[in-house]
Structure 1
């Protein structure tokens, strides 16, 4: 997932005039920089290494940033948490502010192709030379902190977060849109001083770390709420909504809630039975009335993300940003995220989706429900920290056949033995096992017919791996003769 693409333009590496980033020496420098980051303890790849949330240490992150000059305090920021929808909402906010003519940094995770996708500026990833230079700034600081913390020095995600703020400062962004990695209260991003915060949704995920009730999860995510800083929330369920409201009140933070201060009306799908539908919405908030706002990301769930994003944009307008209705419309239309109900082929209809918890899988199934297809097959793999039985019970209600596999690009995957033992207990539709995603995709190429739906979901890692396989060799699932 960290391979360097020759499509990136050649650049001179720091301190040289003859070695470019696309030369063998430049490639080595770039790969060494990325490898330095991935050598760190990485809870994205090994979540079992974290015994509890207390293993996520904000004091360590604060020390790291202090030694780097506190770049997070030099950038105006918005901060977005949520069980699902936070990446889509962050992207919508970024595109709206970009459409208004500002320079916007966007920090999201994980990445699909290149590490530097995590910290874009006006949709552009950092160059290999920039990555090398940023990591060179980090190295001596990390070495000092390693000595101070011994075996518990900065993690991969902490370094990625710090690196993003350094990049945003160097690129002189007008705004940084920061997506929380995990939880909120103790997440590495939660050392900023945001202009606006948001909590998009609350559902069961990472329960071992965040708590086994929606209220407990909501309280962890509401840890991003700052004193007197307005917070926008798309959470409507009574228990978690009340938890967020209580924390906002304790922080004297103005709270704008979907279904209360934010009124979302007349959600209408752009008619299509051939592909997942996009929506138009009407929205009333902060004394403004928007009609027929069109979204480019498919699924009814994106209407709630859009309501949160537009509200955040209006609040930014109250804090010095000049953003018109036309720019809001343009930003929503420009907002797209990879691996969110992404159509990668149409004959047959092939969709990859990063859904990984019950709420996101339900949203996916709802989005696909109106499609005019003959047969629906899903390829599924997920991570060990997920409620696998719950996810499979949803899929077996909505698909005609369930294919089970294990993604190979990350050690978090549920094993084939575990899936095979669980399948007969949960699945009510025909199911098959595949040793790896490549085997499954090769079988699909021979058996999935034009007019059918083939969906790949259950994990960001599976969706990314399958998309790579399709692009690198399988490319297209050919219909049966």
Structure 2
């Protein structure tokens, strides 16, 4: 099944499962202007918007595995894997904002970004309030969070204001975890709390690495709408266990019993 048809099928299933009476999904997709994402050129560009300086100064002091490289086995569901417990504790300090919206969780080696963008467009065309969280970015970290009827990157003003709103909780979390929280974990917390603040109905969330121990996998069965696994390939072999089978197992960690999988 092609990526586009997979996204169409998933979008149709979601619209049906959430049980909202809307016009034909196919007819709305025809009217969608699909904002395809280009492959990321760099994850290392410095955010130059002065409104975001305080936020960037804060998160740039944390470990950034996109720059440093991911430790061996860190993406596996094993004793070598990232500690998902610290992410859960962060979310508790933030008031568990990820429980306030439904989520479509997407993992895979290739196609996660384009699937996320296409599915977000479908859901917006169906009338849902949608937030989309992807990584990495090309020019600005704001690209990782899209909101609104057109799926535009979050504005510097909104992101800066929200950071100040949750900053004390973030600082407390970093302190309690003895500095072990990463750049990606903290920004995932910022994104999920912003989605809650903006009262989105459904979030389309791309896993950063693997799935089972990825920071985004705080999404639970109670708020999961569906899981999507795109193409699986031999990337990040050391981080994901060293084989195609271990990579697939890690990515399958986003699947929750009783929920659709595509």
1:319-398 to structure 2, matched below 5 A, reads: none
The aligned residue for residue 108 of structure 2 is 82
The aligned residue for residue 279 of structure 1 is none
CA distance in 1, matches of 2:60, 2:81: 18
Question: Which residue of the other structure, out of 11, 27, 30, is the alignment partner of 2:52?
Answer: 30
Deviation at 1:180, TM superposition (A): 0.4
> Could you say what secondary structure the match of 2:65 adopts?
coil
CA distance in 1, matches of 2:193, 2:174: 20
CA distance in 2, matches of 1:174, 1:151: 33
2:139 aligned with 1:113: yes
Moved more, 179-188 or 100-109: 100-109
Deviation at 1:211, TM superposition (A): 1.9
Moved over 4 A (4+): none
Deviation at 1:135, TM superposition (A): 1.9
Contact 2:47 2:56 (C-alpha < 8 Å) held by counterparts: no
The CA RMSD measured in Å over matched residues stands at: 1.6
The aligned residue for residue 231 of structure 2 is 201
Deviations 1:22-71 (A, max 9, x none): xxxxx2x42122221222111111115x3431352110000000110101
Deviation at 1:127, TM superposition (A): 2.0
CA distance in 1, matches of 2:110, 2:152: 24
The normalised TM-score by structure 2 is 0.75
> Could you say what secondary structure the match of 1:44 adopts?
helix
2:79 aligned with 1:52: no
2:113 aligned with 1:92: no
Question: Which residue of the other structure, out of 18, 23, 40, is the alignment partner of 2:62?
Answer: 40
Gaps of 5+ in 1: 6-26, 233-481
Question: Which residue of the other structure, out of 252, 256, 262, is the alignment partner of 1:222?
Answer: 252
The aligned residue for residue 159 of structure 1 is 186
The normalised TM-score by structure 1 is 0.42
CA distance in 1, matches of 2:81, 2:126: 40
Contact 1:34 1:115 (C-alpha < 8 Å) held by counterparts: no
Contact 2:90 2:170 (C-alpha < 8 Å) held by counterparts: yes
Structure number with the higher strand fraction is: 1
2:173 aligned with 1:145: yes
Question: Which residue of the other structure, out of 87, 96, 100, is the alignment partner of 1:70?
Answer: 96
CA distance in 2, matches of 1:70, 1:33: 21
Q: Comparing both chains, which one has the higher relative contact order based on Cα–Cα distances under 8 Å and sequence gaps of 6 or more?
A: 2
CA distance in 2, matches of 1:157, 1:58: 12
2:203 aligned with 1:182: no
Contact 2:102 2:224 (C-alpha < 8 Å) held by counterparts: yes
Deviation at 1:4, TM superposition (A): 4.1
CA distance in 1, matches of 2:215, 2:125: 28
CA distance in 1, matches of 2:127, 2:179: 45
Number of residue pairs the alignment of both structures matches: 208
CA distance in 2, matches of 1:63, 1:96: 33
Deviation at 1:229, TM superposition (A): 0.9
